[in-house]
């Protein structure tokens, strides 16, 4: 399963912020992404890793 950060609707954001204050910790909300990771050879993985390092992000190759 893959997940990405969620965009919480305004009408539900207050509830999230309330519990963050109550527990004294920020929360991150994630939503499941309907995708299956692709199987890649070492050369392709190396190219992706280089780009991840350059961009400072995590990249996931998925099946089309």
Rounded to whole angstroms, the Cα distance separating 25 from 9 reads 20
1-44 pLDDT, tens digit each: 789 999 999 999 999 999 999 999 999 999 999 999 999 999 99
Domains in the chain: boundaries: 1-33, 36-64
Q: How many CA atoms, within 13 angstroms, populate the side-chain half-sphere of residue 58? A: 5
Mean pLDDT of 38-64: 97
Instruction: Please state the pTM of the whole predicted model.
Output: 0.67
Average pLDDT over residues 38-60: 97
For β-strands 2-5 and 30-33, DSSP reports them as: antiparallel
């Amino acid at each position: 399963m893959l997940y990405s950060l969620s965009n919480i609707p305004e009408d539900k954001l207050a509830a999230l912020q309330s519990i963050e204050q109550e527990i004294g910790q920020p929360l991150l909300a994630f939503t499941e992404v309907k995708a299956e990771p692709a199987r890649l050879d070492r050369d392709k993985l190396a190219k992706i890793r280089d780009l991840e390092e350059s961009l400072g992000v995590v990249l996931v190759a998925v099946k089309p």
